[in-house]
Structure 1
Amino acid sequence: MKEYAKDYHAKHLGNCAMSVAAAWLNAHQGDMSEVERFRSCGGGRAEGGLCGALYAALQYCPAQKDKITEEFRKRCNGTLCSELRPSKNHTCNDRVGVAAAILDELEESK
């Protein structure tokens, strides 16, 4: 999922949340039209100001919310878009990859 999500985002096919959603749906043969529901979740507009990539990951694995959030926080040094975007250490595309990688890892550990 990680590479699919990063590629989707890099090609400007969607924002951070849409990119993670697209990767999940692609991996699970889901309805790709569902990606559109995440259009309003990029650029700090996800619920609670969360990074959109993290927000999308949480929508697909809500039972793992705490684990996903903590792992994302460790890897990206935060969870809110407003605290992450100014960072020079990671790009939005990097964070898209992190969120998708966490979903991959959760699936592998099942």
Structure 2
Amino acid sequence: MALKYFHKPPGYYNCAQAIYKAFQEEFRITNDEINECSKYGNGKAKGGNCGAYHAALELLKDKPELLAEFTRRFQEKSEHLTCFDIKFNYSISCKNLVRLASDLLEELTPLSSNN
């Protein structure tokens, strides 16, 4: 689960990095990719999207059949997709967004069942 990496030692990963780190083995993500992903935290992902959401979409980019379902479920719980809208409307905490993205990835991808 990604929460064990979110803002915790030793890496103090942001939302996007926590998702990448949690699924590192299953998706063959390198440490360099996790470090590079740091630029997507704090609303800096494409379109201002939530970093946890953005990271999950990146992991699913080769699985188009899952992208729409992931987005539907994520937005159903978060109400919004952009970091600004989520924070402005107090719809869900960053911690819970990391949990949500991680849980949805586990549900939708059979490879991640060990996480």
Q: What is the distance in 1 between the residues matched to 2:56 and 2:39? A: 15
TM-score, normalised relative to structure 1 = 0.85
Kindly state the Cα deviation for residue 88 of structure 1 after the two structures are TM-superposed: 4.0
**Corresponding residue for residue 40 of structure 1:** 39
Residue by residue, what CA displacement relative to the aligned partner does 1:11-54 show, whole Å, maximum 9, x if unpaired? 16111001111111144454233201211101110001110000
The number of residues matched between the two structures is 106
Kindly state the Cα deviation for residue 7 of structure 1 after the two structures are TM-superposed: 1.5
SS at match of 2:24: helix
Percentage of matched positions with identical amino acids: 26
Runs of 5+ unmatched residues, structure 2:
none
Name the CA shift for 1:65/1:91 in 2 (closer, same or farther; >3 Å).
same
Q: 76, 81, 85: which is aligned to 1:74?
A: 76
Matching of residue 54 in structure 1 with residue 50 in structure 2 = no
Corresponding letter in the other structure for 1:52: G
Looking at secondary structure, tell me which structure has more helix per residue: 1
Q: What is the distance in 2 between the residues matched to 1:65 and 1:28? A: 15
Asked if the contact 2:79–2:91 (Cα under 8 Å) also holds between the matched residues in 1, the reply is no
Asked if the contact 1:26–1:32 (Cα under 8 Å) also holds between the matched residues in 2, the reply is no
Name the CA shift for 1:92/1:66 in 2 (closer, same or farther; >3 Å).
same
Q: What is the distance in 2 between the residues matched to 1:97 and 1:38? A: 18
Q: What is the distance in 1 between the residues matched to 2:74 and 2:55? A: 12
TM-score, normalised relative to structure 2 = 0.81
- Report 1 or 2 for greater relative contact order, CA contacts < 8 Å, sequence distance ≥ 6: 1
Q: What is the distance in 2 between the residues matched to 1:71 and 1:77? A: 10
Q: What is the distance in 1 between the residues matched to 2:47 and 2:29? A: 26
RMSD of aligned C-alpha atoms? 2.0
Q: What is the distance in 2 between the residues matched to 1:78 and 1:28? A: 26
